[in-house]
Amino acid sequence: MAYAVLLIFLGTLEARSVGVSAVQARYFESWGCLSFGMIPLIGGAGVGALAVLNISASVFRRARFTLRGVGLILTHAFLVNTGRRREWKKKYPPWFFSKAEKI
């Protein structure tokens, strides 16, 4: 969590000189980046992937394989996949999703 705050702070500092959209693409939508051209960092996609891995490992370690435990695992799997739907909207044509669905 502290690393994510550091990434946001460095991205904010660099946004002054480069611009918001360039910093967003470089820091938060990439797997890795160079801060100010010299400090290698894990990008926002990498931080998000590590957070999902951490939460998934925690759920599988603590969950009991009863009806309640399986419900907990399915709930977390649903939440993880919900974040990926925005990426799917970029890849698939508009008719792939129903008209009533709002993302």
The structure's pTM equals 0.60
> Model confidence at 101, in pLDDT bands (50, 70, 90)?
very low
pLDDT, tens digit, 9 for 90 and up, residues 6-58:
888 988 888 888 888 888 888 888 888 888 778 888 888 888 888 888 887 88
3-state secondary structure the chain: CHHHHHHHHHHHHHHHHHCHHHHHHHHHCCCEEEECCCEEEECHHHHHHHHHHHHHHHHHHHCCCCHHHHHHHHHHHHHHHHHHHHHHHHHCCHHHCCCCCCC
